[in-house]
Chains A and B, each alone.
Chain A
Amino acid sequence: MTPEVEGYGCTVDELMVVAFSRAMDNDTRAFNGAVSFIPVCGYLLARRTHAPNLVWAASSVAIDANPVAIPESTLSDALWDGASMLSTSPHDFWSYASGARYNTFAFRGAQMDACGNVNNTVIGPYDKPKVRLPGGGGMADLSTMIPKIYLWNTTHNVRTFVEKLDFRSGIGWGDGGDHREKLGLPGGPQLCVTNLCVFDFHPESRRMRVASLHPGISIGDVQEATGFEVLIPDGDIPITAKPTEEELRILREEVDPTSARLREF
């Protein structure tokens, strides 16, 4: 079980899903990859609440899927029920992605840096890794193509949030500033939702900045769990908004009745 959120009547996984869901607008056209329970729950919740026109391609295959529950793999066909189209080959997928017809992509990694770049390739030196991770898959591709990138991480600590990645498998804001723009890449990371807080990105440096703290978490807690200097907004730091009863009911009863999302914790 994940920790209860003080005074919110929900747990941290639920707060993360709701925070992610609320960031999705009605023009969101998204898809998902492997082990993406928080975003999948977020897309489905947003579609059932404030964003009914949200488009979601389950496993990047099944467009407008409406599963009765979320299975143990987010690339499994058990996620595809109710779809109106199965993309039969990657040809269409890459056309939709390259042309930003799909406009939203969420990814995570074993390491993230302040500019939202992600490592899922190796821990340690590339030529002699301490841990060989799966590899980036489509991360290096989609992070260059999709304008609205969302990040999430269920284990916010100094090993995952680092000053320097061991390998950059996917690009966020790159070296920061206008690096992404100079490479000719659209948009960039918008938010990073963690089990402690929500980050946005400073509009000039493009480094992570605390957008809201989860209840009971101090800015000191976040800094202590982060391997780079955490930026703080001017004025009071907001508390991550409380989920409504209706959001929690839909998440628990309709979107993810078997709590598949806990596989990420």
Chain B
Amino acid sequence: MDKRASVEQLVETIPDGATIALGGLSMNSAPMAYVREIVRQEKRDLTVVAIVAGMSVDWLIAGGCVKKIVSGLVSFEGLGLAPMFRMGVQSGRVEIEEYSEDLLICRLRAQAWNLPFVPTKAGLGTDLLPLHEETGTIRVEVDGATGEHYVACTRLPVDVALVHAHSADELGNVRVDPKLIWMDNEIVNAAERTFVSVERYVDHADVVAEPHRTTYPQFMVSGVALAEIGAYPTSCFPEYSHHTSFFKAYSAAASVPEEFETFFADRVLGPKTWDDFIKSSGGDEMIAEIRRRSA
């Protein structure tokens, strides 16, 4: 089955109210082409699972797509707080269901492994645990045999995982190559469907010739779409780094609400296709700037 489609076509299949999970970590490897298209298609009431995120979550909140964020951290690191995340949560417009990295990973594993819970010692003694007393999604328990405390992390269902990768064949065999996958495998394994954006397509014959380079097998992948520089403005190791000046321009615009509205509408959402967006963000000159020294 040929799983290739456009970013636009795949996003069309995501219903309002869905739970989506975003790959990447912080300034690295976020599925930005999908994120932009979700905003352009005006999806609403999404629950967004993002273990450690930044610009991806911020765009979705800016676009009014988000009901609830399920996350451990959202920031632009040394480049500052994620402005729309900050304002969205402070104003109460966006709900947050707060965990840590490992608590979320354990919830995703409980889902993937079909277990009632996965135990961890993460979070013991912190204020994260009382936040979930009512829902019971994570709870402190004591092992009867050893007397040890642990946190039981229950299943976290995900409708669609969105991740960015280097390449895929027509069947949906995906390469993250080199295999630096952050925590993307955890959301892929837990999700009902996974959509991958890729820098390029490769022939199935190439995949068969070097099967050790495959990261996600075709049966775990529902759709693949071409998006060159598809993680922009985050990085895609080792091909390009995050684009500092975009982060700075975005944060500067965010400090003036009217200015931000124009910036977001024109600069982020204005260009029709992902290629148009990359061209209008500086095109080849910008790409040369973010290509790694070693590339």
Is A213 located at the chain interface by the 8 A CB criterion? no
Is B89 located at the chain interface by the 8 A CB criterion? yes
Is B73 located at the chain interface by the 8 A CB criterion? yes
Given contacts A89-B181, A129-B89, A135-B73, contact A72 B78 (CB under 8 A): yes
How many Å lie between the Cα of A110 and that of B122 in the bound state?
Answer: 21
- Shortest distance between the CB of A106 and any CB in chain B (Å): 16
How many Å lie between the Cα of A180 and that of B27 in the bound state?
Answer: 33
- Shortest distance between the CB of A122 and any CB in chain B (Å): 9
Is B292 located at the chain interface by the 8 A CB criterion? yes
How many Å lie between the Cα of A72 and that of B241 in the bound state?
Answer: 12
Residue of A nearest to B85 (CB): A132
Is B231 located at the chain interface by the 8 A CB criterion? no
The stretch of A21-29, A136-144, A198-206, A251-259 that contacts the partner chain: A136-144
Given contacts A61-B180, A132-B89, contact A73 B122 (CB under 8 A): no
**B125 with A185: CB separation less than 8 A:** yes
Is B178 located at the chain interface by the 8 A CB criterion? yes
**A34 with B75: CB separation less than 8 A:** yes
**B125 with A183: CB separation less than 8 A:** yes
**B102 with A138: CB separation less than 8 A:** yes
> Within residues 39 to 88 of chain A, which ones have a CB less than 8 A from any CB in chain B?
61, 72-78, 86, 88
Contacts of A75 in B (CB 8 A): 25-28, 77
Q: In the complex, which of the residues A132, A140, A179 contacts B128, with contact meaning CB atoms closer than 8 Å?
A: A140
**B90 with A131: CB separation less than 8 A:** yes
**A136 with B121: CB separation less than 8 A:** no
A-B contact count (CB 8 A): 147
> Within residues 114 to 139 of chain A, which ones have a CB less than 8 A from any CB in chain B?
121, 126, 128-139
Central interface residue in A98, A140, A167, by most chain B CB within 10 Å = A140
Interface string of A130-171 (1 = CB under 8 A from B): 111111111111011100000000000000000001011111
Contacts of A7 in B (CB 8 A): none
Interface string of A85-98 (1 = CB under 8 A from B): 01011100010001
Contacts of B82 in A (CB 8 A): 134
**B237 with A141: CB separation less than 8 A:** no
Given contacts A90-B105, A140-B122, A141-B102, contact A168 B73 (CB under 8 A): no
Residue of A nearest to B142 (CB): A184
How many Å lie between the Cα of A135 and that of B57 in the bound state?
Answer: 13
Given contacts A90-B183, A94-B105, contact A145 B121 (CB under 8 A): yes
Interface string of B109-147 (1 = CB under 8 A from A): 000000000001111111110010000000000000000
Contacts of B186 in A (CB 8 A): 90
Is A35 located at the chain interface by the 8 A CB criterion? yes
Is B98 located at the chain interface by the 8 A CB criterion? yes
- Shortest distance between the CB of B47 and any CB in chain A (Å): 17
Contacts of B241 in A (CB 8 A): 76-78
Contacts of B75 in A (CB 8 A): 34, 134-135
How many Å lie between the Cα of A214 and that of B34 in the bound state?
Answer: 51
Contacts of A174 in B (CB 8 A): 125
> Within residues 54 to 78 of chain B, which ones have a CB less than 8 A from any CB in chain A?
71-75, 77-78
Residue of A nearest to B236 (CB): A77
Residue of B nearest to A133 (CB): B81
Is A249 located at the chain interface by the 8 A CB criterion? no
**A140 with B178: CB separation less than 8 A:** no
Residue of B nearest to A175 (CB): B125
Interface residues of A, dominant DSSP: loop
Given contacts A34-B77, A73-B77, A77-B238, contact A136 B126 (CB under 8 A): yes
Given contacts A34-B78, A135-B98, contact A128 B92 (CB under 8 A): yes
**B89 with A77: CB separation less than 8 A:** no
Residue of B nearest to A137 (CB): B73
- Shortest distance between the CB of A102 and any CB in chain B (Å): 13
Is B246 located at the chain interface by the 8 A CB criterion? no
Q: In the complex, which of the residues B73, B124, B180 contacts A185, with contact meaning CB atoms closer than 8 Å?
A: B124
**A136 with B77: CB separation less than 8 A:** no
Q: In the complex, which of the residues A78, A168, A263 contacts B78, with contact meaning CB atoms closer than 8 Å?
A: A263
Q: In the complex, which of the residues A35, A77, A136, A184 contacts B149, with contact meaning CB atoms closer than 8 Å?
A: A184
Q: In the complex, which of the residues B25, B123, B178, B237 contacts A144, with contact meaning CB atoms closer than 8 Å?
A: B123
How many Å lie between the Cα of A140 and that of B71 in the bound state?
Answer: 13
Q: A131-B90, A144-B122, A174-B125 are in contact. List 15 more A-B contacts (CB 8 A).
A: A35-B77, A75-B25, A76-B235, A98-B120, A128-B92, A129-B90, A136-B100, A136-B128, A137-B73, A138-B52, A168-B125, A169-B128, A171-B125, A185-B125, A263-B78
Binding site for A on B (CB under 8 A): 25-28, 52, 71-75, 77-79, 81-82, 85-86, 89-90, 92, 98, 100-103, 105, 120-128, 131, 148-149, 178-183, 185-186, 235, 237-238, 241-242, 244, 292-293
